[in-house]
Amino acid sequence: MNGWCGRILQIDLTTGNWEARRPTSETYQECLGGRGLAGRYLEPEVTRRWDDPAMPLLLFTGPLVDTASPTSGRMTIMSRSPLTGTVGDCSVGGSFGTLLKKAGWDGVIIAGRSPRPCGIEIDGGKITLADANGMAGLSTSRIFKKLRGRGAAAVTGPAAENGIAFANVMVDGHFAAGRNGLGLSFAAKNLRYVTTTGHGETAVADSEGLQDAVADIRRLFFASPALLGEFGIAEFGTPALYDLTHARRMMPTANFRETFFPAAPSLNAPALRERYRPKKTGCRGCPILCKKIAADGTPLPEFETLSHFTALVGNEDLETAVAANRLCNEMGMDTISAAATLACYSEMEQTKLSPGDILALLDAIGRGKGVGAELGRGSAAFAASRGRSECAVTVKGQELPAYDPRGACGMALAYATSTRGGCHLRAYPIAHEILRKPVATDRMSFSGKARIIKIAEDLNAAIDSLTACKFIFFAASLEEYAKVFRAVTGVSLSAQDLLKIGERIVYRERMMNARNGFTAADDDLPERFFAMSGSEGDHIPVPPINRKTFLEARARYYAVRGLDETGMPTRAKAEALGIAWKS
């Protein structure tokens, strides 16, 4: 095959056996790879408990990985989310996806539970289940050091060992597969790490055509101010968004009770640069290099992390935000959920957290000690246990990231409809509502947003399945990537064909969530956004979201998505999309 390896590795940790599965070409073309192909193998088992040994843990690459396609070195990790119970997935960078392809595999399906702590080591066609007893209690950085020389690595840390619901997976040192609690999915299988290496090359159908298609994307990339401008993402990383959300009075502050943080100008991307003099790094083969590493090797926080560990928790000390990011990475836990859970705790306790409090509580969470064990259940479960559910700012049990929905109506709708819980990346309306790409929309209006969100969800599902980075789509479009896909695989699919595949992927995820009891009641926002104003000023009003208008937009979304009036999938739409119906 071209683009795909044609083989998927299936491992049973209970027996220690493994086998190669060979999907049909039709399966590849219907699902692409990454998120789409992983979802295809999650679907038959999705109603099991997340910690059932038979629940699959899936690591999947895409057809463009290990080719010249720009920003296509990513992979998807997927299972049923321990944090939310939804479809749980994350697109993550680093070199793991590329080296898995070089090893000759399009993905790995991991089932069963090892009788002892173990690691999976993939070296081409040689598969080893290694003893990981000596890694108990180790930080992720120490585990990476132990695994040096074995290729790319995906590891969990103490948070997963200690049952933290938002434990994550760290890849290649500082790439986080966050949200959803996928680190706990590793722990449920007694799995501490997966490594992979290989030396194969991914076959390409039309190398000249690929060069031409890549040249088109690179021209658009180099003309994009959002990516390569003086204040763009390549220059400052994702913290380039920090001043934008601050200026528009939509920076979540004090656990989303306010939308403006006066100290923000001293905590932004230029402040990070001045203090830490970072170098650029990024995913394998990526021209953007959005990751920033301090001179001493400390990974600097992404925008979401920087915003939440400053404004959301009321912290005015930049070094504390950097230290909090480092501590979460060492413990192996999601920074967004960790910070949001601390903000929830601060509101409930009616106390301002000092820098020392923030770091001490994070350490207690990662180790599962004292109140940290309670907080480690996530803000929704913690607040509910204390009769204060209103303090947990979540959708479907997942903590919201660093865009206040009162300042961006498209984001408000996207949070509510996301199949993995409160997520900015499922549709990423910030592209058009804040960055004005590909065209500007009125961020304070729901007009037209239902159809925009639906199309954006389909687009991003296709991107996550190819796999590529969403940032490149500030410059390029699916038209350019359809040409890349055709040159790599030899399969002629148009941009509309790829978008239709994305629609099928999203609808399948809606079906999986419906089978696990999710309804329209879960496609909603916390009440505070409908009842409380944001922080007005600089002639920028930040009124509460009008609930009637929000519900009308959600109803329009249901209609264009092909759901019924209660937000549930229908047999007719599933069959029209070619998805087998399961009630």
pLDDT, one tens digit per residue, over 99-142 is 999 999 999 999 999 999 999 999 999 999 999 999 999 999 99
Tokens of 502: 């994305």
Q: What is the mean pLDDT of residues 210-238?
A: 90
Name the more confident of 154 and 225: 154
Provide, rounded to the nearest whole percent, the portion of the chain with pLDDT above 90: 92
Q: Which residues contact 281 (CB under 8 A, 6 or more apart)?
A: 289, 291, 292, 293
The rounded distance, in Å, linking the Cα atoms of 178 and 175 is: 9
Average pLDDT, the chain: 96
Q: Distances in Å between the alpha carbon of 98 and those of 20, 101, 214, 288, 529?
A: 19, 5, 18, 17, 42
Instruction: Please report the domains of the chain, with CATH numbers, ordered by start residue.
Output: 8-197 (3.60.9.10)
Using alpha carbons, select from 38, 89, 41, 170 the residue that is nearest to residue 398: 89
Say what the pTM is. Answer: 0.97
Residue pLDDT, tens place only, 314-352: 999 999 999 999 999 999 999 999 999 999 999 999 999
Q: What is the mean pLDDT of residues 149-168?
A: 98
pLDDT band, very low/low/confident/very high, at 289 (cuts 50, 70, 90) = confident
pLDDT above 80 for 495: yes
pLDDT above 80 for 285: no
Strand partners, 88: 79
Q: What is the mean pLDDT of residues 532-546?
A: 96
pLDDT above 80 for 409: yes
Q: What is the mean pLDDT of residues 363-391?
A: 98
Residue pLDDT, tens place only, 63-104: 999 999 999 999 999 999 999 999 999 999 999 999 999 999
Q: Please, are residues 461 and 473 in contact by the beta-carbon 8 Å criterion?
A: no
Q: What is the mean pLDDT of residues 217-223?
A: 91
Specify the DSSP class assigned to residue 193: E
Tokens of 446: 């729901």
Q: What is the mean pLDDT of residues 511-528?
A: 98
The rounded distance, in Å, linking the Cα atoms of 421 and 415 is: 7
